[in-house]
Chains A and B, each alone.
Chain A
């Protein structure tokens, strides 16, 4: 039998229920949830898919951050990556929107309620092609969100076509050579004004989890481009998005430790080993430098550094840029502190006397 996988149409096997029995020894975080409470449905992606590692990292990050799961809104577009919000934070509201346009829906949701944490999950097919415009504009506006791109350089759900992030000269599983120049979402995010930019690798959870935690705490547009190899269609020799290639060419510029604002910093470091960056909300990011000349607060330098390394075929990972003075869209718009979706007629309707005045001015 031939099975045709159509984009956005892969059946999710929701009949695979997870056991709800919790082991009594599962530890609870400060807000009273176990790690299990941050999980979602069982993934229907291929075994070994990088995306599942990213879902696990999101679960770990949210649990460690003591975020109440239901205070996270998770939104996605269309594609393999965009299916993953069903596989973590099962008690959160999720929204699988239309192809490439998660950013606009997320922007609207964020305008409606500034108090939730907004997590956007997308892929290279979703964000670098049809979604390129919305990707750029959501950065420009400083929407307070964490935008995770699960980047595998290939269209998985439609079985292996190149995506716009595929490197020029890289080979498809069938041996075709990609002739188009690649789109680098990290560089684009930097150009467009994202105030937190990182790159991770689904195969390196110790790097990825603190990156996600710091991004979630960041007040402004945070992007993490996560290289996430596709085992089914893009993990062969000649691919520049395979596990082997990324491992061999990964140039991590720093190692990150993250402390939420209320937490005491406990780790000890040797002198001169770390840079400490305090974010807008009081949280602290500590960077152990792996490359002495890399300064993640210098946006212009970051862009050239990334480009220089890319020209050598190297993939720069880590926290690439952080603007601690970021302002988010609500600050720019000057909206009230209370979420707009909680305001009622008393706050919103100017009343009949004001209308009478307007009538009088129109005569």
Chain B
């Protein structure tokens, strides 16, 4: 029988039961490999449930640093009898099945083309421990112990991690080390070596291992957000929770113990965005974090903030839609809902982070953009980036960086007799000046409303006033193009006819696919879009190629629609490549889809009697 052999390049998937403490044990496994200098990319695939339903944890070990989901499983660790059949099916031929052999399993439920490793994990655990909670938690550590032995993971790294986790808790530390060794000893005495192996490398460098939601929260701390109003919703709740954690550490006045921030858990998303709008109106940097259904609820307020021109930052950690959709699965399916949120003619600025590093960067930048442009800014993260720990560049902050508070007219300027028109375009960029409430006893006060107004904020239904305002908003959106992050080009090694456009969490899988396609002789230029509105570079890039694949994690090709609508791109040149089953897009999927389409395109001209 064939045997998958690999050093530092394989996928281990754990099948567990939700609420059993498995996720922390599996994370420990991933971290230990990371500490050996080998990059890993873990993904928690969990149900919308607290306890009892199936959950999976996938760890990709990748010396090359390919952090996207690869697809396929080299080793399955099955600790959940409920999902046995589907888990066994998923293993690549020649792969390995590690299972709990405490109870006999009929031969028919195995496969002949995989290597089976049975270990009586429950039995070993129950013999060693009597307390039920202890049994539940330490069972996980026992199988991790066995895996370290099988895969040659240095147990010293795990012990170091225990030491960090249980600092000052000797008893817990000892119990965990003991359980780890129970697993190691059994594996050493009873299990055969396998051909998957971790070897120490120096491939991690100074990278950090963090989830995108924590990174976005940290970006809000560094970007100067003082007001956070939120309502719990998966997969965004941990943004606000991380903001609470970081502000408690970083934003408390050392002399008085007072807080340089205010966080309110609102009664719903209608209220959370309302509070953000109120704070933004009054000159504080504010944000909320939400996901699809929250965006639907916030849409009326987003329209108000757009039309009344109030800064607001919305971190949208996208999940599967529509409606409640797939709350614990990932998609990029809110692109259009956010780009055009509200009734009437509206357009909103979107930022697309590729990883936690950009979640940090773009959240901080969004706070600047919101005040510069006086409008809502969306940070379009997703569950794959937001809730999984990802290896990425370390966060950086330039000490000379100032907050851009935008066009704010001061009391001094008003006293000097400066003409103040709240909605007056004084310098052609479409952005008017604003005053903070309470600025001046007799000048600069104005009435904010969602209804139409003239340039001096007076209520007006005159067509000319309305048109002036809408045209100015268009100019402002044009100005936004020069402020949002530029797309990033990855040029092929050789001149390429084909191109690809991608964004957000598709990035690591795409980069891996580009390499894989190049090995097959398919060269593509790839452009990662980082923001909407689209800069001219994007239309130029599309125009320079006969066919452009647009990679998206939604069914409708939402970014493609936006490109056609907003960048004046011919639909004929765009080919949608869509992945929308709720799992993160894989390099294998992209490679296969593009290779297939390229071969089809390459034969068609001959058949149609055209010159290729």
Contact = CB atoms under 8 A, between A and B. Distances in A.
Interface of A: 8-9, 11-12, 14, 68-71, 73, 75, 85-86, 90-98, 101, 103-113, 115-116, 133-134, 137, 141, 329-330, 333-337, 340-341, 343-345, 347-352, 354-355, 358-359, 362-363
A81 to B, nearest CB: 15
B259 A336 contact: yes
B448 A343 contact: no
Interface string B374-410: 0000000000000000000011111101110000000
Interface stretch (B54-62, B145-153, B276-284, B575-583): B276-284
Interface string B11-49: 000000000000000000000000000000000000000
Nearest to A133: B267
Contact of B222 (A141, A335, A350): A350
B224 A336 contact: no
Contact of B260 (A109, A329, A340): A340
A129 to B, nearest CB: 14
Contacts of B324: none
A14 B449 CA distance: 14
Interface stretch (B117-125, B436-444, B562-570): B436-444
Contact of A359 (B208, B256, B268, B273): B208
B397 A351 contact: yes
Interface string B296-320: 0000110010000000000000000
A362 B208 contact: yes
Contacts of B443: 91
Question: Which residue, B399, B401, B436, has most C-beta atoms of chain A within 10 A?
Answer: B436
Contact of A93 (B222, B259, B437, B460): B437
Given A340-B227, A348-B260, A108 B278 contact: yes
A134 B267 contact: yes
Contacts of A71: 438
Interface string B407-444: 00000000000000000000000000001111111110
B262 A111 contact: yes
B461 A333 contact: no
A113 B283 contact: yes
A197 to B, nearest CB: 20
23 contacts: A11-B459, A70-B437, A93-B435, A97-B274, A98-B300, A101-B270, A104-B275, A105-B281, A107-B275, A111-B226, A111-B227, A112-B226, A116-B437, A134-B270, A329-B264, A334-B257, A345-B401, A348-B251, A348-B260, A350-B222, A352-B397, A359-B206, A362-B209
A211 B32 CA distance: 67
Please name the 6 residue pairs, one residue from A and one from B, whose CB atoms are nearest each other, closest first: A108-B278, A104-B274, A112-B284, A93-B437, A108-B275, A341-B283
A93 B448 contact: yes
Contacts of A351: 397, 399
Given A11-B459, A111-B227, A355-B222, A96 B451 contact: yes
Given A116-B437, A352-B397, 19 more contacts: A68-B441, A91-B441, A92-B445, A95-B447, A96-B450, A101-B274, A105-B274, A107-B271, A111-B264, A111-B278, A113-B438, A134-B274, A329-B264, A335-B262, A336-B256, A336-B258, A348-B260, A349-B224, A355-B397
Contacts of A362: 208-210, 394
Contacts of A12: 459
B282 A69 contact: no
A108 B432 CA distance: 22
Contacts of A348: 221, 224, 226, 251, 260, 403
Given A70-B439, A95-B448, A341-B282, A104 B270 contact: yes
Contact of A341 (B204, B221, B436, B460): B436
Nearest to A100: B270
B455 to A, nearest CB: 13
B300 to A, nearest CB: 6
Considering residues B218, B267, B401, which has the most beta carbons from chain A within 10 angstroms of its beta carbon? Answer: B267
B263 interface: yes
A349 B222 contact: yes
Contacts of A104: 229, 266, 270-275, 278
A134 B439 CA distance: 28
B286 interface: yes
Interface string B244-262: 0000001101001111111
Contacts of A97: 274, 277-278, 304, 450
Given A101-B301, A105-B275, A333-B262, A111 B284 contact: yes
B446 interface: yes
A109 B282 contact: yes
Contacts of B224: 343-345, 348-349
Contacts of B403: 344-345, 348-349
B458 interface: yes
A108 B277 contact: yes
Contact of B282 (A11, A113, A330): A113
A340 B261 contact: yes
A359 B304 CA distance: 38
B226 A93 contact: no
Most buried by B among A94, A333, A341: A341
Nearest to B262: A111
Interface in B279-293: 279-284, 286
Contact of A96 (B204, B282, B447): B447
Nearest to A344: B403
Contact of A335 (B208, B250, B258): B258
Nearest to B286: A108
Nearest to A9: B451
A90 B458 CA distance: 12
A28 B185 CA distance: 90
Given A105-B277, A109-B282, A348-B226, A73 B253 contact: no
A11 B281 CA distance: 24
A363 B208 contact: yes
Contacts of B274: 97-98, 101, 103-105, 107-108, 134
Given A95-B448, A330-B262, A349-B397, A115 B438 contact: yes
B5 to A, nearest CB: 30
A106 B396 contact: no
**Most chain A CB inside 10 Å of its own CB: which residue of B274, B276, B437, B461:** B437
Interface in B465-509: none
A86 B459 CA distance: 10
A350 B251 contact: yes
Contacts of A337: 258
B271 A137 contact: yes
A73 B282 contact: yes
A337 to B, nearest CB: 7
A329 B266 CA distance: 13
A75 B461 CA distance: 22
Interface string B196-223: 0000000010111110000000100110
Nearest to A345: B403
Contacts of A347: 260
B75 to A, nearest CB: 26
Given A90-B445, A91-B445, A359-B395, A109 B253 contact: no
A11 B229 CA distance: 34
Contacts of A113: 282-284, 436-438
B218 A358 contact: yes
Contacts of A70: 437-442, 445
A116 B395 contact: no
Chain B CB within 10 Å, residue with most, of A106, A337, A340, A352:
A340
B432 to A, nearest CB: 15
